[in-house]
Copies of this chain bind each other. A is one copy, B any other.
Amino acid sequence: MPQLPSVLQSPLSPNVELLLDSAIPARMAWVDGDGHPRVVPIWFHWTGEKLAVATFKGAQKLDQIAAGQVVAVTIDSQTFPYRGLKIRGPVELVENDGLSPEYREAAVRYLGPNVADRWCESLAHLDQVTLLITPKWASASDMSDAPFLKETP
């Protein structure tokens, strides 16, 4: 198994673990066929080794993202003091009959177990492709220890 970037190696820092366990959507960027950037919010699931996201067969992004292509992801909190995790690496594409197993796991985190069941049931007739991102580079940040917050007027 290739070595993970240091911030993703066990034991994870509380900051990184909180972000990977959070219900914050990842924002994933890639380069389209014209060489231009694209970015979308997307549910993720961290497997411990790879960042999994899923999309529906026929989605436009599948025409633009080939196996081995590098994508970039940020998972970051939206209120000050900001915390964040950035990951970049190549994708593997895994076709599923029905929903991606990692998407079902993600749904529980994002919606809670009861609504996740109903949500996935409503989509169970659709086929998904799982994008498995192998982190080649990662960086974490946490502004909660910024000197600014320690200043007194």
B74 and A40 within 8 A (CB): yes
Our pick among B28, B30, B39, B79 for the contact of A73 (Cβ within 8 Å) is: B39
Tell me, rounded to whole Å, the shortest Cβ–Cβ distance linking A85 to chain B.
11
A31-B36, A37-B70, A70-B37 given as contacts; is B122 within 8 A of A25 (CB)?
no
**A99 contacts partner chain B, Cβ-Cβ < 8 Å:** no
Instruction: Report if A88 contacts B (CB, 8 A).
Output: yes
Count of identical protomers in the assembly: 2
A63 to chain B, nearest CB (A): 16
Question: Can you sample 9 A-B contacts with CB below 8 Å?
Answer: A24-B78, A29-B39, A30-B37, A31-B36, A36-B88, A39-B86, A41-B74, A80-B111, A122-B148
Give the complex CA separation of A35 and B71 in angstroms: 11
Q: Quick check: B36 and A28 within 8 Å, CB to CB?
A: no
